[in-house]
């Protein structure tokens, strides 16, 4: 059973709100406003190594939630923090680094901490346990510009922000699957540990993008969610998918897996009418984020990866419950080199 099959089977129920289970954010009407609400959990041994820099963990825990708000075109307002922490790491230095980076990003995006919960991670009588961080972020979105994963239409352009694949390449380097130069390794590691949510771009695309999703589980997997929800297909020109020079330099099979199925990119993948191209470029320029048109949507269902021969037909994004991942192998801290 995949992660999305699990959600659909056991937790998807009809809702009376504008948007519920299965999208980046729930959209809830609250008087004259529409609230966008999202939550993400980061667990030690699944999302990060035990020796993680607490500053990067504090940053990333909030960043992945703000990335969901960006996909919804929402302006961040506040967040809740739940932290499960073992006694050995409940020390001033760890907490100062974690909270400092958390509040630096929160301040930059105008998002206030308004509550939460804390608990001891270790069981009674045990000395240690895994760190778990869960954040729920809340934003506001204009009703006239609501968007989710289901608004894409045949004929729309397909766009991505930034470059893809470097976070997965950093993990491959950490596990000894590829050897990067010192500066390349630092640059890719920063993409993995310090993702930058595209909030400004998400706001600038209001009224332009017909559908959007943030790329957390890989381009192929996340695009598949949009196609399924919207009832369309897509032709992706793989040579046009933006990537760094570091990724271009590695062996082709690994390069394509990082690029198409690696995950942890936290860039925006969005669709829009071709008539909006000029306005979309202007919006991206205003937000200071590069964007690339990588394909188009079709009436014919399915995802077609074009322009590269010999692409693994089983490529898909990361899934917590499927048991396998066709990007760089799923996170396994016991195999770190």
Residue 337 domain flag: no
- Looking at the DSSP bridge assignments, the partners of residue 74 are none
* Tokens matching residue 131: 């760190």
136 and 34 inside one domain: yes
Say if residue 157's pLDDT is above 70. Answer: yes
Q: What is the pLDDT of residues 248-278, one digit of tens each?
A: 999 999 999 999 999 999 999 999 999 999 9
* Tokens matching residue 39: 């939550």
Note the pLDDT of residue 6: 59
Note the pLDDT of residue 12: 64
pLDDT-derived band at 333, boundaries 50, 70, 90? very low
The phi, psi pair for 61, rounded to 5°, reads -60, -40
Count how many domains the chain has: 2
Residue 138 domain flag: yes
C-alpha closest to that of 162 among 316, 271, 265, 76: 265
Eight-state DSSP code of residue 315 = -
pLDDT-derived band at 123, boundaries 50, 70, 90? low
Strand positions, DSSP E, 126-247 = 132-141, 157-161, 209-214, 233-237
Note the pLDDT of residue 65: 97
183 and 224 inside one domain: yes
Mean per-residue pLDDT of the chain: 87
Q: In whole angstroms, what separates CA 191 from the centre of its chain?
A: 12
163 and 87 inside one domain: no
195 and 314 inside one domain: yes
Say if residue 173's pLDDT is above 90. Answer: yes
Note the pLDDT of residue 89: 81
By residue range, what is the domain housing residue 261? 157-318
Residue 35 domain flag: yes
Q: What is the pLDDT of residues 95-110, one digit of tens each?
A: 999 999 999 999 999 9
When mean pLDDT is compared over 5-9, 100-104, 149-153, the highest value belongs to 100-104
The phi, psi pair for 184, rounded to 5°, reads -60, -40
238 and 203 inside one domain: yes
Residue 180 domain flag: yes
Eight-state DSSP code of residue 296 = E
122 and 99 inside one domain: yes
Say if residue 243's pLDDT is above 90. Answer: yes
CB 258 within 8 Å of CB 328: yes
d(CA 232, CA 255) in angstroms, rounded, equals: 27
Average pLDDT over residues 180-199: 97
256 and 226 inside one domain: yes
69 and 194 inside one domain: no
CB 7 within 8 Å of CB 22: yes
Say if residue 122's pLDDT is above 90. Answer: no
pTM: 0.86
Q: In whole angstroms, what separates CA 198 from the centre of its chain?
A: 10
Say if residue 327's pLDDT is above 50. Answer: no
């Amino acid at each position: 059973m995949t992660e999305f099959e699990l959600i659909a089977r056991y937790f998807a129920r009809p809702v009376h709100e504008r948007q519920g289970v299965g999208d980046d954010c729930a959209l809830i009407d609250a008087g004259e406003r529409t609230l966008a609400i999202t939550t993400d959990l980061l667990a030690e041994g699944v999302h990060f190594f035990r020796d993680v820099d607490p500053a990067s963990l504090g940053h990333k825990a909030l960043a992945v939630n703000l990335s969901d708000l960006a996909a919804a075109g929402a302006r961040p307002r506040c967040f809740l923090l739940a932290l499960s922490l073992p006694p050995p790491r409940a020390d001033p230095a760890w907490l100062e680094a974690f909270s400092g980076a958390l509040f630096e990003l929160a301040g930059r995006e105008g998002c206030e901490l308004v509550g939460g919960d804390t608990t001891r991670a270790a069981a009674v009588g045990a000395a240690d346990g895994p760190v778990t961080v869960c954040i729920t972020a809340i934003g506001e979105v204009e009703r006239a510009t609501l968007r989710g994963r289901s608004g894409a239409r045949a004929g729309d352009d397909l766009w991505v922000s930034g470059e893809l694949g470097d976070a997965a390449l950093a993990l491959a380097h950490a596990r000894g699957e590829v050897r990067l130069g010192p500066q390349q390794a630092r640059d890719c590691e920063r993409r993995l540990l310090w993702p930058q949510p595209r909030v400004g771009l998400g706001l600038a695309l209001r009224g332009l993008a017909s559908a959007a999703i943030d790329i957390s589980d890989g381009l192929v997997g996340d695009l598949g969610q949009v196609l399924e929800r919207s009832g369309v297909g897509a032709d992706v020109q793989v040579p046009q998918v933006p990537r760094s020079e570091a990724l271009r330099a590695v062996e082709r099979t690994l390069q394509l897996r990082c690029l198409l199925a690696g995950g942890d990119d936290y860039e925006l993948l969005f669709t829009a009418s071709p008539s909006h191209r000029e306005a979309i470029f202007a919006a991206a320029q205003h937000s200071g984020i590069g964007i690339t048109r990588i394909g188009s949507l079709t009436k014919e269902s399915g995802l077609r990866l074009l322009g590269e021969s010999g692409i693994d037909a089983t490529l898909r994004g990361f899934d917590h419950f499927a048991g396998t991942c066709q990007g760089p192998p799923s996170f396994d801290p016991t195999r770190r080199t």
